[in-house]
Structure 1
Amino acid sequence: MRNFDEWLKTMRPSINQYDYYVDFNKVYENVEAMKVELNIMNSLIGSKNIEEDIKKLIERYPEVIRCIPTLLAVRQTEIYAQDAEGAFNYNFKEMNYSVDQYIVFMGKTGLLDLIANHLINNLVDYCLGIEVGLDSNGRKNRGGHQMEDLVEKYLVEAGVEYYKEMYLTEIEEKWGVDLSPISAEGKSTKRWDFVVKAQDNIYVIETNFYGGGGSKLNETSRSYELIASKMKEVNGVEFIWVTDGGGWKSAKKNLSETFDVLDTLFNIQDMEEGTLNRLFAYGKSGLFDL
């Protein structure tokens, strides 16, 4: 029998890899895509008559408006702004107001002052910094994929037949199994992170990593405890939950309850010790006897 408290101690505080922090390739690509426009705008740096100069520039090179949202650290191509003089929804892909109105926008947002007063030397370098900052918003997605990538690495090492992001209905159709207890008699569509077809069983796998605490952990644990209970009504299919992270130490009660009913609840150390390999090769009888 496994000991929950000892197992909990093996949870990792983080699984962040070197490329988690900034995707520099994406940063460079985004800046490269508007490098011509930014270099055209560079001619305005230090302008003594910024409004007149930028009006001439936009009239001659209207495409330069494409880079304005990035100069404000905004991703979308439409920006809404309002004050006592009215409300406007500026389109920076295709101009929907006069050039003068776009100059008003740049003036009121502070861009004209930034450019004219030489607070920066090069808009390309400035946008590189902005893109690095914006890319930090992608860390949440990269963090979620890191755990999936880690689990997939061990599935590859196990040499098993596996599928990514497979829906419950697809499993039923492919192998002729009845998952109605899990789907509430067909009312729910569930997508599993991985599905493994081993010799004697089908294994459906959920993965996640929680570096911090919060109510979501308790909800997840209760949800997976219910799945584990319902899966006992299904022949030929086993549920595996692979999770890790220091966040579980603040939600140990609910996790402990799931641990007691789901003997295929694993963490990273379990995978490192070959637990998945033994499970797929020998079934549950091979889990903890080696």
Structure 2
Amino acid sequence: MKREFLKWLSTFRDSIATYSYYVDFEKVFGNVDLIKVELNILNSLIGSKNIKEEFELIVYKYPETLKCIPILLAVRQSEISITDESGSFNFNFSTQTRSISEYSNFMEKSGLFDLLSNHLVNNLIDYVTGIETGLDSNGRKNRGGHLMEDLVESYIQKAGFVKDKNYFKEMYIHEISSKWGIDLSAISNQGKMEKRFDFVVKTDKMIYAIETNFYGSGGSKLNETARSYKTLSSEADTINGFTFVWFTDGKGWISAKNNLEETFDVMENIYCIKDMENGVMRELFK
């Protein structure tokens, strides 16, 4: 039975966020634990009246405390580049590559001495936990991309498929061709383009190559995605024993519904979360 596009689109979700989507506290606490001893040593600087001298003594005795400095500035990498009136400088905090006085100068000019000596923080472990929480929230976009993959994979498993036995994650075109001896040159521009599919499901009669995505907000990328998957689907239709399947969802599609509708009208195997809930995988993968 022919599906109605607008009715199908109306089932799209605002969000598929899980509890850990907003902040991965396990990761946050793990990162803090890695430098907890060093942070406790630097805690002795809080409220110091002679912070420059005390910092230099700490670095002399415990040079490993240097690795904590970047995160105090909400920087993940261990190297920080600085440009001032004297020129450009690179500070490595994973190992001591400069004199202690140069690191001390960095602390002073970056404002960290002021932060510590004037009691603007009370405990560096709590302070870094807050920084890690903030930095982790920036990872929501990456986590959001994996949420749809995880959801689709859960339904593949519910349909009775077993990972690395009859369904596979992240397979390239050349891997599919090699594993099952199928010619996929029609979708690889005669072998010139290498594409990776999120999942591949293998049944006795068919190879299903699957792409997944969820768009909570609009943007030009959605139109590009709809057009490229429309082309990919038509190319896949020329290959015997091979089917391209697209699982997508998200209210972001409302801003690009015209392009999505064009793809929907010509692509048989395009589905949303509601379709998965209604058991489409058991019907499709036969």
Counterpart in the other structure of 1:261: 266
Secondary structure at 1:193's aligned position in 2? strand
Secondary structure at 2:248's aligned position in 1? strand
> Normalising by structure 2, what TM-score?
0.97
Secondary structure at 2:120's aligned position in 1? coil
Counterpart in the other structure of 2:14: 13
Q: Alpha carbon RMSD of aligned pairs, Å?
A: 0.8
Counterpart in the other structure of 2:42: 41
Q: Over residues 210-268 of structure 1, what are the superposed CA-to-partner deviations in whole Å (9 max), with x where a residue is unaligned? A: 00000000000000000011112100101100000000000001100100111100000
> Normalising by structure 1, what TM-score?
0.95
2:245 counterpart (225, 240, 246)? 240
User: Distance in 2 between the 1:163 and 1:134 partners?
Assistant: 32
Counterpart in the other structure of 1:202: 207
The structural deviation recorded for 1:85 is 2.5
Counterpart in the other structure of 1:166: 171
Secondary structure at 1:144's aligned position in 2? helix
User: Distance in 2 between the 1:97 and 1:53 partners?
Assistant: 18
1:1-290 equivalence runs, <5 A: 1-160=2-161, 161-281=166-286
User: Distance in 2 between the 1:87 and 1:186 partners?
Assistant: 46
Secondary structure at 1:128's aligned position in 2? helix
User: Distance in 2 between the 1:267 and 1:199 partners?
Assistant: 25
User: Distance in 1 between the 2:35 and 2:281 partners?
Assistant: 47
Q: In the alignment, residue 59 of structure 2 is paired with which amino acid?
A: I
Q: Give unmatched runs, 5+ long, in structure 2.
A: none
Q: In the alignment, residue 189 of structure 2 is paired with which amino acid?
A: A
User: Distance in 2 between the 1:97 and 1:88 partners?
Assistant: 11
The structural deviation recorded for 1:174 is 1.2
User: Distance in 2 between the 1:180 and 1:10 partners?
Assistant: 36
Where do 4+ consecutive residues of structure 1 move more than 6 Å?
Answer: none
Decide which moves more: 159-168 or 206-215.
159-168
Secondary structure at 1:220's aligned position in 2? helix
Q: Over residues 153-180 of structure 1, what are the superposed CA-to-partner deviations in whole Å (9 max), with x where a residue is unaligned? A: 1100111321000111111111111111
Q: In the alignment, residue 172 of structure 1 is paired with which amino acid?
A: S
Q: Give unmatched runs, 5+ long, in structure 1.
A: 282-290
User: Distance in 2 between the 1:176 and 1:122 partners?
Assistant: 61
User: Distance in 2 between the 1:107 and 1:86 partners?
Assistant: 17
Identity %: 59
Say how many residue pairs are matched.
281
The structural deviation recorded for 1:26 is 0.7
The structural deviation recorded for 1:102 is 0.6
User: Distance in 2 between the 1:84 and 1:169 partners?
Assistant: 53
